[in-house]
Structure 1
């Protein structure tokens, strides 16, 4: 069993607005520097990006009305990391949730660094969406 961290942030925008922006892989470079440091390009059924840790292939959940944005990230090594991600209503805005799972090859230090990167990305998402209301 992997260690898990649930990372959440409140965003003062509707769940629909948050979902529409965050579920679009082309927007990843605008808020998810921990995953996509440059343009994200479609390659068949996957999206390809240059991450801080190398080239990755990203497969997102199909568009849905439940706010589910789960995605699999395939590393150059062939390892696939599943990333559960959701947006749900919270009062007049949204709660954005990312579930970070410690991978078997990760040291405690790497897991903490990964958590910090996700937290930074979620703050960037919040700032971007709230600034463009």
Structure 2
């Protein structure tokens, strides 16, 4: 079984606002800038150019449940499933990102990725609350 860390942020906006922003792939570079600065459509999915090469992304279909899961296809061909949820919390919303330890990932690598995702979630909060 893979080790996971559940990273979350509370956002003072309704679930519908958070979901509308976070589910639009065109907004991804705004709140997860480390992934790439531009996202382009690619058939049924999307891609971003990264320093490691072209990364493919496929997002969960629009839904009423706050599911923001996506699949990342790395330049090496590895496929990474990323669970991401937006959950109503009173008048606000909690966004929960499940970070999984990749095969061969060191503790330092996992800690680095935790810090990166935490920063991305903080930026998502800042952007959505400013809408």
TM-score bin (small chain): over 0.9
1:47-104 CA distance string (max 9 Å, x none): 0012454421000011100000100000000001100001011121000010000011
Counterpart CA distance in 2 for 1:13 and 1:65 is 16
Q: Which moved more, 1:48-57 or 1:76-85?
A: 48-57
Query: How far off its partner does 1:8 sit?
Result: 0.5
RMSD: 1.1
**Which runs of structure 1 show a deviation greater than 3 angstroms over 4 or more consecutive aligned residues?**
51-54
1:101 equivalent in structure 2:
100
- Structure 1: how far apart are the matches of 2:52 and 2:12? 31
The equivalent residue for 1:70 is: 69
Residue in 2 that maps onto 1:121: 120
- TM-score using structure 1 length: 0.94
Q: CA 1:2–1:82 in 2, change beyond 3 Å: closer, same or farther?
A: same
2:12 and 2:108 mapped to 1: Cα distance? 32
1: distance between equivalents of 2:45 and 2:75?
Answer: 14
CA distance in 2: counterparts of 1:110 and 1:53, whole angstroms: 17
Aligned to 2:34: 34
The alpha carbon displacement at 1:44 in A equals: 0.4
Contact 1:73 1:82 in 2 (8 A): yes
- Determine if contact 1:34/1:52 at 8 Å carries over to the other structure: no
Q: State the aligned residue count.
A: 131
